[in-house]
């Protein structure tokens, strides 16, 4: 490891220690909740794994809420509205349950913010009505829930890069309903609009 890398790591570890002190000093007895959202294949899961190891090695009690699409008991193809509703409810449940656990940091691999982005996508593509979209948004943006989320990190990736990462080790280059350039570009645009509207998003 180079000297410059050592300096950076020393600074990060000092900041981690400061964060831990602030967490233990606050009156709120719940974890710091950080959601990762963004373009498919943008590196969300890898970033969470790296950060999780870093904070654990620096004395934090860390919990990871893993991406749940593969576990959905409802149709997850083509961005089905029922799947988004199920995933968003799962995310909310994970956040609520974390309040009572002995945890310092909760990293979410997609969560409520991501569900709201999908909600907009479903509206734009005619899969849900404007009334359904508004009711979904009204519920998941209740202050009762949003006050439990401290930060949303949005990771953007060019559609061509996402496609390359998706198919590098596959035996097909045929595009899927979501993993195709135009759809990925639309997701990037929706995320950009959401970031503009929400000040706590990084």
pLDDT, tens digit only, all 202 positions of the chain: 788 888 999 999 999 999 888 888 876 678 999 999 999 999 999 999 999 999 999 999 999 999 988 888 887 766 789 999 999 999 999 999 998 888 999 999 999 999 999 999 999 999 999 999 999 999 999 999 999 999 999 999 999 999 999 888 888 888 888 889 999 999 999 999 998 886 555 4
pTM for this predicted structure: 0.89
pLDDT at 199: 58
Residues in the chain: 202
- Phi, psi angle pair for 201, to nearest 5°: -85, 135
Residue 57 and residue 189: Cα distance in Å, rounded? 36
The CATH code that applies to domain 28-197 is: 3.40.50.300
Q: Could you tell me the strand order of the sheet in which 105-109 lies?
A: 62-65, 105-109, 32-38, 151-155
Asked if residues 108 and 91 have their Cβ atoms less than 8 Å apart, the reply is: yes
Distance of CA 22 to the CA centre of its chain: 24
- Give the SS3 label for residue 79: helix
Q: Give domain limits for the chain.
A: 28-197
Pairing state of beta strands 105-109 and 32-38?
parallel
Q: E strand or H helix at 69, and its extent?
A: none
**Distance from the first to the final alpha carbon of the chain:** 29
Q: Which string of DSSP letters, residue by residue, matches 130-159?
A: HHHHHHHHHHHT-HHHHTT--EEEEE---H
């Amino acid at each position: 490891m180079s000297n410059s890398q050592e300096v950076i790591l020393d600074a990060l570890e000092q900041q981690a220690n400061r964060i831990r002190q602030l967490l233990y000093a606050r009156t709120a007895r719940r974890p710091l909740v950080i959601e990762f959202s963004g373009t498919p294949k943008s590196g969300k899961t890898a970033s969470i794994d790296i950060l999780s190891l870093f904070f654990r090695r620096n004395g934090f009690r860390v919990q990871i809420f893993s991406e749940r699409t593969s576990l959905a008991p409802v149709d997850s193809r083509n961005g089905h509205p029922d799947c988004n509703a199920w995933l968003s409810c799962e995310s909310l449940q994970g956040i609520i349950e974390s309040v009572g656990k002995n945890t310092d940091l909760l990293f979410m691999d997609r969560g409520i913010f991501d569900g709201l982005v999908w909600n907009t996508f479903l509206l734009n593509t005619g899969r849900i009505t404007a009334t359904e979209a508004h009711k979904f948004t009204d519920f998941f943006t209740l202050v009762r829930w949003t006050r439990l989320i401290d930060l949303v990190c949005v990771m953007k990736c060019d559609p061509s890069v996402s496609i390359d990462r998706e198919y590098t080790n596959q035996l097909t280059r045929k595009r899927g309903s979501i993993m195709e350039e135009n759809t990925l570009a639309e997701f990037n645009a929706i995320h950009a609009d959401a970031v503009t509207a929400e000040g706590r998003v990084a």
